[in-house]
C-alpha cells in the first residue's frame, strides 16, 4: 500500500470522526429531553409534547415530558422541567417564558381511565392540570404545581410557588411568595416572601397601580424572552 493511500485513509478516518462528533453534538447531545409517556394506572394514552419548532427555543438541558402544549415564541431555559407524566394536560401559551430551573408538574388527573376532577381546573371550557396563559413569565426556580392556573400577562417571581391555586391576569407574584389553595384576582400583587393561603389574605392584597414599582416588569421580561426564543431558534433549532 502506497504512502499516499495510507495518508488518504488516515485523513479520511479523522474526517469521519469529526463528522460523527458534529452530528452527535448537533442532533443528539444538543437536543432537549422531549419524551412521550408510557402506559400506567394514571396514564391511559401515550402522549408526546406539542411545540412550535419554528419559533420556540428549548435549551438542551431542559426536559419536557408527556401531554404538554407549548405555544409560539416560547423560551424554555436551562434545567427547566415540564412534566405532563402524572397530571395532564399542561398548557403554556404564546409568548410565555419558562426560565432557569422552573418546575411545572401536577397531581394525578386520572386513575384507571377515570378522571380525577378535583385535580383539574377549567379555563375557557377546557380542563387542565396546569394552565399557563399568554405573555406569562415564570422566573428562575419558580414552581407551578397543578392543579394550577396562571392567566395572561402575569409575572411569577424567582423561587415563588403556585399550588392548587389560580392567579389572575396582569398580576405580579414577587420572589419567594407562596400561593396555595386560593384564587388571586386580576391586577393584584403579592409581596416577596408572603404566604397566601386564605380568602382573608387574598382580600387584603393591593391592586397594581401607577405607583407600583414592578407594574411594567412582566412586559419587559416577555419582550426580552420572546426575542431570545426566536434568535436561539434560528441559531440552534428548537
Using a 10 angstrom Cβ sphere, with 0-12 exposed, 13-18 middle and 19 or more buried, the burial of residue 45 is exposed
CA dihedral 225, 227, 230, 235 (to 10 degrees): -100
108 noted as active-site residue = yes
Asked whether the beta carbons of 74 and 95 are under 8 A apart, the reply is: yes
Which are the contacts of 214, defined by CB distance < 8 A and separation ≥ 6? 155, 172, 174, 189
The phi, psi pair for 19, rounded to 5°, reads -65, -40
- Distance CA(66)–CA(44), nearest Å, equals 12
DSSP string, 105-139: EE---EETTEE-GGG-EEETTEEESEEE-TT-EE-
Which of 108, 111, 122, 174 is flagged as catalytic?
108
DSSP-assigned letter for residue 148: E
DSSP-assigned letter for residue 29: I
Which of 86, 111, 122, 227 is flagged as catalytic?
86
Pick from 153, 221, 169, 148: nearest CA to 161: 148
Asked whether the beta carbons of 95 and 132 are under 8 A apart, the reply is: no
117 noted as active-site residue = no
Pick from 166, 125, 122, 171: nearest CA to 144: 166
Asked whether the beta carbons of 107 and 146 are under 8 A apart, the reply is: yes
Active site residues: 86, 108
Amino acid at each position: 500500500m502506497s504512502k499516499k493511500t495510507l495518508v488518504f485513509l488516515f485523513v479520511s478516518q479523522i474526517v469521519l470522526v469529526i463528522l460523527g462528533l458534529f452530528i452527535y453534538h448537533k442532533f443528539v447531545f444538543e437536543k432537549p429531553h422531549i419524551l412521550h409517556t408510557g402506559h400506567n394506572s394514571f396514564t391511559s394514552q401515550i402522549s408526546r409534547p406539542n411545540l412550535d419548532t419554528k419559533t420556540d427555543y428549548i435549551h438542551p438541558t431542559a426536559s419536557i415530558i408527556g401531554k404538554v402544549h407549548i405555544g409560539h415564541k416560547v423560551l424554555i431555559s436551562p434545567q427547566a422541567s415540564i412534566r405532563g407524566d402524572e397530571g395532564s394536560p399542561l398548557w403554556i401559551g404564546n409568548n410565555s417564558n419558562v426560565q432557569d430551573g422552573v418546575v411545572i408538574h401536577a397531581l394525578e388527573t386520572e386513575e384507571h381511565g377515570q378522571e380525577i376532577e378535583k385535580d383539574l381546573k377549567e379555563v375557557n371550557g377546557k380542563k387542565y392540570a396546569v394552565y399557563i396563559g399568554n405573555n406569562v413569565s415564570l422566573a428562575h426556580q419558580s414552581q407551578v404545581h397543578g392543579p394550577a392556573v396562571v392567566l395572561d400577562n402575569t409575572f411569577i417571581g424567582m423561587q415563588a410557588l403556585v399550588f392548587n391555586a389560580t392567579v389572575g391576569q396582569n398580576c405580579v407574584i414577587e420572589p419567594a411568595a407562596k400561593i396555595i389553595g386560593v384564587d388571586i384576582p386580576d391586577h393584584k400583587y403579592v409581596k416577596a416572601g408572603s404566604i397566601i393561603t386564605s380568602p382573608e389574605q387574598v382580600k387584603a392584597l393591593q391592586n397594581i397601580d401607577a405607583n407600583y414599582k414592578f407594574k411594567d416588569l412582566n412586559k419587559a421580561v416577555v419582550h426580552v424572552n420572546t426575542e431570545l426564543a426566536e434568535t436561539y431558534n434560528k441559531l440552534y433549532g428548537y
